[in-house]
């Protein structure tokens, strides 16, 4: 009887704290949280789409992604790592389902955010960074990089004013809203009612503003 009670208590504790059992790269979920075990640790790029919110988290292990949700249904979510790319997306319309993914803080050199996703990255420290934001997505990056290549379109919002970037090239269109900080040089191509706000005192290496776009420096 004591042995049965001990087994029951142990099982209850296991259910309470959750457990990670690798099965086709995905850990067993606990209620509204699921941890994905990645096949790769050396990740160089992020590809996000499908309305998923993503946070780059220094507390995450290099081979794991933790996702919390307002549901216990993770069937609509795709999390995979392949050839140095971390891909997070949804298979179909989420409806009222919300996913928030915590990803490892790797030295991502390429980031693509689309389809209503939100990305928060507070500890960026890379040499070269190429970012594409579109489709109503929101992207906030803080930290530093030597060169930044940025393309923003489709009503996307980009908040990079706390990302100290040495040389910056930005292309903004389609009602995009962009805030950034350039240290050395800035090249701007803005059109289609885009708004670009630039902090810093960079030299202008390129300038083409048309189609109702506005560019502001230190305003």
- Clarify whether residues 83 and 148 are in a common domain: no
Question: Where does a domain end: 70, 91, 106?
Answer: 106
- Summarize the confidence of residues 142-146 as an average pLDDT: 98
- Summarize the confidence of residues 87-100 as an average pLDDT: 88
Name the nearest CA neighbour of 25 among 14, 41, 39: 39
Instruction: For 40-79, write each residue's pLDDT tens digit.
Output: 888 999 999 999 999 999 999 999 999 999 988 888 899 9
Beta strands at 64-69 and 177-190: parallel, antiparallel or unpaired:
unpaired
Distance CA 1, CA 182 (A): 70
- Clarify whether residues 91 and 50 are in a common domain: yes
User: For 122-131, which contacts have Cβ atoms below 8 Å and span 24 or more sequence positions?
Assistant: 122/56, 123/56, 123/58, 124/56, 124/163, 129/165, 131/158
| Token reading at 92 | 């179909």
> What's the pLDDT at 29?
63
- Clarify whether residues 186 and 116 are in a common domain: yes
Q: Which residues contact 95 (CB under 8 A, 6 or more apart)?
A: none
- Clarify whether residues 85 and 26 are in a common domain: yes
Kindly state whether residue 70 falls inside one of the protein's structural domains. yes
Question: Where does a domain end: 106, 137, 167?
Answer: 106
Name the nearest CA neighbour of 139 among 111, 165, 98: 111
Instruction: For 99-138, write each residue's pLDDT tens digit.
Output: 999 999 999 999 999 999 999 999 999 999 999 999 999 9
> What's the pLDDT at 28?
54
> What's the pLDDT at 22?
40
Instruction: For 158-175, write each residue's pLDDT tens digit.
Output: 999 999 999 999 999 999
pLDDT class of 219 with cuts at 50, 70, 90: confident
Residue with tokens 């805030």: 179
Maximum distance among all alpha carbons in the chain?
A: 80
> What's the pLDDT at 19?
40
- Clarify whether residues 99 and 138 are in a common domain: no
Kindly state whether residue 8 falls inside one of the protein's structural domains. no
Give the total number of structural domains in the chain.
2
CA distances from 11 to 22, 31, 35, 205 (A): 19, 15, 20, 64
CATH code of the domain in which 150 resides: 2.160.20.120
Distance CA 157, CA 177 (A): 5
Question: Where does a domain end: 63, 90, 106?
Answer: 106
Q: Which residues span the domain enclosing 88?
A: 19-106
Instruction: For 18-50, write each residue's pLDDT tens digit.
Output: 344 444 455 556 679 999 999 888 899 999 999
Instruction: For 195-216, write each residue's pLDDT tens digit.
Output: 999 999 999 999 999 999 999 9
Measured in whole angstroms, how far is the alpha carbon of residue 205 from the centre of its chain?
Answer: 29
Distance CA 14, CA 77 (A): 25
> What's the pLDDT at 26?
54
CB atoms within 10 A of CB 36: 24
Output the pTM of the full model: 0.86
């Amino acid at each position: 009887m004591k042995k049965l009670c001990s087994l029951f208590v142990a099982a209850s504790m296991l259910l309470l704290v959750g457990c990670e059992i690798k099965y086709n790269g995905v850990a067993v979920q606990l209620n509204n949280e699921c941890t994905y075990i990645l096949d790769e640790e050396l990740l160089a790029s992020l590809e996000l789409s499908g309305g998923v919110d993503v946070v780059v988290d220094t507390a995450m292990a290099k081979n794991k992604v933790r996702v919390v949700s307002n549901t216990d249904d993770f069937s609509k979510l795709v999390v995979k790592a392949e050839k140095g790319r971390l891909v997070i997306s949804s298979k179909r319309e989420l409806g009222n389902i919300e996913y928030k993914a915590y990803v490892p803080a790797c030295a991502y050199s390429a980031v693509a955010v689309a389809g209503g996703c939100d990305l928060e990255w507070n500890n960026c420290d890379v040499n070269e960074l190429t970012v594409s934001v579109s489709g109503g997505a929101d992207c906030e990056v803080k930290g530093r990089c030597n060169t930044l290549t940025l393309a923003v379109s489709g009503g996307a919002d980009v908040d990079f004013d706390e990302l100290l970037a040495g040389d910056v090239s930005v292309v903004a269109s389609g009602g995009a809203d962009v805030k950034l900080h350039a240290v050395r040089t800035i090249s701007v191509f803005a059109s289609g009612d885009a708004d670009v706000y630039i902090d810093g005192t960079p030299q202008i290496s390129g300038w083409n503003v048309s189609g109702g776009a506005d560019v502001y420096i230190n305003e």
